[in-house]
A and B are shown apart, each in its own frame.
Chain A
Amino acid sequence: MVLALRCGERAPGAVGSLLITPQWLSQQMPDLSGLTPLGEGGQKWVFAGRHTQDGDVVIKLIKPSGDIERTRREILAVRQISSPRVPAVLDVGMLHSPWGDIIWLRERRVSGESVREIIRARGPLPKEGVLCLGLCMLEALVDAARVRIVHRDVKPENIMRSNDGSYWLLDFGIARHLDLSSLTPSAALGGPGTLGYAPPEQFRNKKRDLDGRADLFALAVTLVECISGRHPYRDGARDAPEVVRRIEGSPLVVPRIAWDPERRFSELVSSMGQRRVDCRPQDARQALEWMRELHSVFGL
Chain B
Amino acid sequence: MELQLQFGYGMMDHSRVLIRDWGGGTVILSPRDLNPLQLQQFADVIVSTPNGEVLLDPQFYLPYADHERLTSHKFWPAEYSTDGFWSGAEIRELIRKLVVLNTALRCKAMLLPGLYAERVDDDWLARQKLVIDEAGALTDFPLFVTVALGADAVRSDDQIDDILAAAETWEVAGVYLVCEHPRGEYLVTDPTWLANVLDLVAGLRLKNLDVVVGYCNHQMLALACVGANTIASGTWMNVRSFPPDKFRSQYDEEIKQRAIWYYCPQALSEYKVPFLDIALKQGVLSRMVPPESMGSAYADLFFSGVQPTSVGWSEQTAFRHYLQCLWFQTRSSRQSTFEDTADAHERALDVAEDLLATLQSVGVRGQLRDFRESIDVNRAALSVIRSTRGPVLRRKWSNL
Contacts and interface: CB of A to CB of B under 8 A. Distances in A.
Interface string B201-221: 001001100000000000000
Interface in A239-266: 251
B388 A279 contact: yes
B165 interface: yes
Contacts of B207: 282
Given A278-B203, A282-B206, A271 B392 contact: yes
A209 interface: yes
Contacts of B395: 290
A276 B391 contact: no
Interface residues of A, number: 15
Contacts of A277: 161, 165
Nearest to A282: B206
A251 B206 CA distance: 21
Interface string A138-153: 0000000000000000
Interface in B122-172: 157, 161, 164-165
A208 interface: yes
A281 B387 contact: no
B391 A271 contact: yes
B165 A208 contact: yes
A274 interface: yes
Interface string B357-393: 0000000000000000000000000000001111110
A267 B391 contact: yes
Contact of B388 (A276, A281, A290): A276
A289 to B, nearest CB: 9
B387 A251 contact: yes
B161 A278 contact: yes
A267 to B, nearest CB: 4
B199 to A, nearest CB: 8
A208 B387 CA distance: 25
B172 to A, nearest CB: 18
A270 interface: yes
Contacts of A46: none
A154 to B, nearest CB: 20
A270 B161 CA distance: 19
B392 A276 contact: no
A132 interface: no
A278 B387 contact: no
A208 B125 CA distance: 13
Interface string A266-292: 011011001011110110000000100
Contacts of B164: 278
A282 B207 CA distance: 9
Given A209-B165, A281-B392, A290-B395, 14 more contacts: A251-B387, A267-B390, A267-B394, A268-B391, A271-B392, A274-B388, A276-B157, A277-B165, A278-B161, A278-B165, A278-B203, A279-B388, A279-B392, A282-B207
Interface of A: 208-209, 251, 267-268, 270-271, 274, 276-279, 281-282, 290
26 contacts: A208-B165, A209-B161, A209-B165, A251-B387, A251-B388, A267-B390, A267-B391, A268-B391, A270-B391, A271-B391, A271-B392, A274-B388, A276-B157, A277-B161, A277-B165, A278-B161, A278-B164, A278-B165, A278-B203, A279-B199, A279-B203, A279-B388, A279-B389, A279-B392, A281-B392, A282-B206
